[in-house]
């Protein structure tokens, strides 16, 4: 083995030893409440395809039509070779759905955060993030060069103390831009940001808010626009972010907001400018999903999802006193030890249930968990099957 591979192998051995080894599992079926791998069918509680749209006929047909009309690839960045119609149709539909004047889509949610945060802020500015925001927002906040401050998860007193500090940085000639970044539904805990109070606070201090609605778009609020709609503050959130790969069942990320915001991103967001546009099929599928989510079927699927979430809480023996208007589809069962979490995920897999063991660095060390996600594609029978599989496992020491 050469020195390069020796170095890498030593690092990989350490990961194994720490219970942090990850590997890909080849799946031979579409995503759905049941998936197939290694020649066996598994009940799937791992996917963020919350509304069960990833393999929906309407999305498949829209994608196939886009391939037929626009081909498989986009050719180049949208600023270089022209911007294909499906992207514009998607963005118009998205802006109408979110109730904003404009929207811009990126190849992934990760690229959305990277491009947006680095376009908005520079070295003279301040970025303040919740301790548990997604890795893409952390990475972008580091990369943008602004002073980075982290507030304790959902702790508005801590946030206010940082805002007071930020205010003290203003001079008579210059005031730093201050951007707060949080998530509406936290991806690994499934809890909610105290959004209404947070918006009041940031307005008092003249700060801006970027809200990542990755796990709320398509699910929460009267029109399923997200938590900002549910809490009635959408028009006070400067930067509304989300993904097209979760409830919308396709792939990509988006920013919804003012025309000026979108124009700034087209001009400055490096992950948008210096990257080939997504395949037209992805845009067309996401567009079909947005239309579907707003209709009767979207309402029905959201209702079904909420019913499954309630059943999932019961099955996992987690407190059933949740506010029914704000149930999240993410239900973590906290285990603690990394190796223990992996062992439980393996035991469940042997019983035909697929659920990921989420470990460091996705969550803090010692807070490993099984992360169950409910989808509208699950049925009461699926939950009964999960309950039976869990019944054979040793009881967990802690619960979320
Ligand atoms: C999944 C996720 C992203 C990244 O989106 P992708 O489209 O998967 O790159 C961003 N933020 C949050 C909170 C997420 O859960």
Q: Does residue 70 contact residue 204 with C-beta atoms inside 8 Å?
A: no
Angle at 54 between CA 50 and CA 55, to 5 degrees: 125
- Using CB distances shorter than 6 Å, the residues near ligand 1 are 108-110, 134, 136, 183, 187, 212, 214-215, 243, 245, 253
Residue 172 among the catalytic residues: no
Q: Does residue 62 contact residue 69 with C-beta atoms inside 8 Å?
A: no
C-alpha torsion 263→266→270→274, nearest 10: -170
Q: What is the pLDDT of residues 43-64, one digit of tens each?
A: 999 999 999 999 999 999 999 9
Residue 326 pLDDT level (bands cut at 50, 70, 90): low
Q: What is the CA radius of gyration of the chain?
A: 22
In testing the pocket of ligand 1, which one of 136, 185, 190, 362 has its CB within 8 Å of the most ligand atoms? Answer: 136
As a whole number of angstroms, the distance between CA 297 and CA 299 comes to 5
Residue 325 pLDDT level (bands cut at 50, 70, 90): very low
Q: Which residue has a Cα nearest atom 8 of ligand 1?
A: 109
Looking at domain 57-293, which CATH architecture does it have?
Answer: 3-Layer(aba) Sandwich (3.40)
- Catalytic residue, chosen from 47, 107, 184, 187, is 187
Domain 23-50+296-390 has CATH 3.40.1360.10: no
CA of 89 to the centre of ligand 1 (A): 22
Residue 247 is given by DSSP the state T
User: Containing H/E element for 201?
Assistant: helix 195-204
The yes-or-no answer to whether 23-50+296-390 and 57-293 have a common fold is: no
Average pLDDT over residues 310-338: 80
Average pLDDT, the chain: 94
Domain boundaries, the chain: 23-50+296-390, 57-293
Residue 180 has pLDDT above 50, yes or no: yes
Q: Which residue has a Cα nearest atom 6 of ligand 1?
A: 109
Nearest 5°: phi and psi at 239?
Answer: -125, 110
Average pLDDT over residues 134-145: 98
Tokens (6 digits) for 314: 């019961």
In testing the pocket of ligand 1, which one of 111, 116, 246 has its CB within 8 Å of the most ligand atoms? Answer: 246
Instruction: Spell out the alpha helix ranges (H) of 242-357.
Output: 259-268, 270-273, 280-294, 296-316, 338-350
- Catalytic residue, chosen from 56, 246, 306, 378, is 246
Q: Which residue has a Cα nearest atom 10 of ligand 1?
A: 109
Handedness of CA 214, 220, 221, 224 (dihedral sign): positive
CA of 242 to the centre of ligand 1 (A): 8
Residue 88 among the catalytic residues: no
Q: What is the pLDDT of residues 337-396, one digit of tens each?
A: 999 999 999 999 999 999 999 999 999 999 999 999 999 999 999 999 999 999 866 555
As a whole number of angstroms, the distance between CA 194 and CA 259 comes to 27
Nearest C-alpha neighbor of 189 from the set 364, 344, 383: 364
Q: What is the pLDDT of residues 63-115, one digit of tens each?
A: 999 999 999 999 999 999 999 999 999 999 999 999 999 999 999 999 999 99
Give the neighbor-by-neighbor strand order of the sheet with 208-212: 102-106, 253-257, 239-243, 208-212, 178-183, 126-130, 147-151
CA of 288 to the centre of ligand 1 (A): 20
Strands 40-44 and 34-37: antiparallel
CB atoms within 10 A of CB 5: 10
In testing the pocket of ligand 1, which one of 109, 278, 356, 373 has its CB within 8 Å of the most ligand atoms? Answer: 109
CB atoms within 10 A of CB 327: 23
């Amino acid at each position: 083995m050469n020195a390069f591979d020796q170095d890498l192998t030593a690092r990989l051995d350490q990961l194994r030893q720490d219970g942090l080894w990850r590997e890909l599992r080849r799946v031979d079926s579409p995503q759905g409440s049941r998936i197939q791998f290694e020649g066996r069918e598994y009940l799937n509680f791992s996917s963020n395809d919350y509304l069960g749209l990833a393999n929906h006929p309407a999305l498949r047909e829209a994608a196939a039509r886009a391939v037929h009309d626009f081909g498989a690839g986009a050719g180049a960045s949208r600023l270089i070779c022209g911007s294909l119609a499906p992207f514009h149709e998607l963005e118009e539909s998205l802006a109408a759905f979110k109730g904003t004047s404009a929207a811009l889509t990126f190849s992934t949610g990760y690229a959305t955060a990277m491009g947006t945060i680095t376009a908005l802020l520079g070295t003279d500015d301040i970025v303040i993030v919740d301790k548990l925001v997604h890795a893409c927002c952390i990475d972008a906040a580091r990369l943008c060069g602004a002073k980075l401050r982290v507030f304790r998860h959902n702790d508005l007193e801590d946030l206010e103390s940082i805002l007071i500090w930020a205010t003290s940085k203003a001079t008579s000639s210059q005031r730093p831009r201050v951007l707060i970044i949080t998530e509406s539904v936290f991806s690994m805990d499934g809890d909610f940001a105290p959004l209404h109070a947070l918006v009041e606070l940031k307005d008092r201090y003249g700060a801006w808010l970027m809200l990542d609605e990755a796990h709320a778009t398509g699910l929460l609020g009267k029109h399923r626009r997200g938590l900002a709609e549910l809490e009635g503050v959408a028009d006070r959130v400067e930067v509304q972010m989300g993904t097209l790969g979760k409830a919308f069942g396709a792939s990509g990320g988006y920013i919804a907001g003012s025309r000026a915001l979108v124009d700034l991103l087209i001009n400055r967001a490096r992950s948008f400018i210096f990257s080939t546009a997504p395949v037209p099929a992805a845009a067309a599928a996401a567009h079909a999903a947005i239309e579907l989510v707003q209709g009767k079927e979207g309402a029905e699927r959201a209702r079904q999802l909420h019913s499954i979430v309630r059943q999932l809480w019961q099955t996992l023996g987690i407190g059933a006193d949740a506010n029914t208007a704000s149930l999240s589809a993410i239900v973590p069962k906290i285990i603690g030890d990394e190796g223990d979490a992996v062992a439980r995920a393996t035991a469940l897999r042997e019983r035909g249930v697929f659920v990921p063991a989420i470990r460091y660095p996705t969550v803090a060390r010692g807070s490993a968990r099984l992360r169950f996600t409910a989808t509208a594609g699950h049925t009461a029978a699926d939950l009964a099957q999960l309950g039976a599989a869990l019944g054979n496992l040793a009881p967990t020491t802690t619960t979320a």
